[in-house]
Amino acid sequence: MRSRIITGLAGPELSLDEKAFLASVQPAGIILFARNCGSQDQIRRLVAESIAAVGADEVLVLIDQEGGRVQRLRPPLGRNLPTARAFGQLYETDADTAVKAAQLVFQLLAADLRELGINTDCAPVLDVPVEGAHGIIGDRAYGTTVAPIVALGRAVAEGLMAGGVVPVIKHVPGHGRADCDSHLALPVVGESHEVLRQSDFLTFRGLADLPAAMTAHVVYKAIDANAPATTSPCVIADIIRGEIGFDGLLMSDDLSMKALAGPMKARAEATIAAGCDLVLHCNGDISEMTAAAAGTPVLDGPALDRFARAWAVTQEVRGFDISEAEAALSLVLASGSA
């Protein structure tokens, strides 16, 4: 039976312990980082061996390939991708061209990812950064207002889906006001619910029909002062599923980040209890992976239904003009460096 966990791997080759873990746990997915990527042939082999170890065809293979600071595949393993802000800068002068370019560039990326066996990209970022917030989002955002973020985020997602790659919107319900990096500490946002409703939440409402999303390890004091979104039943039920209206596959951000506290098994249990469909564990530590898996139930019920809907994206790939997409990529890279 499949487990409601997505797990990282320690390095570029699958260890015997990892093979046994994948066979026993049968995770819903794996996630790749730069430490897992040595060459294109090696990536293909690692992905294929991991899927074979799980023993199921329907395995989400994730990567963070946003562009700019966050791209696990860099030349020569993958194309250099512009920052989200570069798309936003082009949008300010020519919105139609920017939107078309975003779709083409990410359909081009989707084709590259599929060649490596990767079928899920943790993008687009829909966070709305505000002045004075921590810089962890920064140029990963498509703008500082709702309209460009929604328009460009939609284009990025549509480009990925046209290429058979599942987009994962993040970090719901919003990381743009965070006062620290959630990799290192727990951010707390003190703005009123009404302010959040009229800004941070709007970008996610605009793309609530997309197939997958990742939670924010952020406390929103006006909604739940005691728990970050990832482990807050109130935030997930009332805001993400309710006010925002997202009914797709909901995964946590990385359980091994320092924003969360407590034993790894307890973190996984709290995440599932709060309403996430899947837990994500990224650092490749086999002991932590095992503990997280021990707190993660079988993939069934509504979570399985949402997983199936997300997986369906991988089953349809549409053609496109590669030369046109490469020209769009060059245009945005030039726009971002201007």
Q: Give the residue among 84, 136, 80 at the shortest CA–CA distance from 109.
A: 80
72 neighbors 37 (Cβ within 8 angstroms) = yes
Quick one: how many helices (H) and strands (E) in the chain? Answer: 12, 12
E strand segments, the chain: 3-7, 27-32, 60-63, 65-67, 70-71, 120-121, 166-172, 188-189, 212-215, 219-220, 249-254, 278-281
Query: Tokens representing 336?
Result: 């971002």
How far is residue 219's CA from residue 186's CA, in Å, rounded to a whole number? 7
The catalytically annotated residue of 183, 209, 300, 321 is: 183
Give the DSSP letter of residue 51: H
Q: What SS3 class is residue 199?
A: coil
Catalytic residue list contains 171: no
Catalytic residue list contains 41: no
Q: Give the amino acid at 140.
A: R
Residues whose CB is less than 8 angstroms from the CB of residue 333 and which lie 6 or more positions away in sequence, other chains included: 80, 82, 86
The catalytically annotated residue of 64, 112, 253, 254 is: 253
CA 63 to chain centre: 8
Give the DSSP letter of residue 229: G
Q: Give the residue among 130, 125, 87 at the shortest CA–CA distance from 204.
A: 125
212 neighbors 166 (Cβ within 8 angstroms) = yes
Active site residues: 183, 253
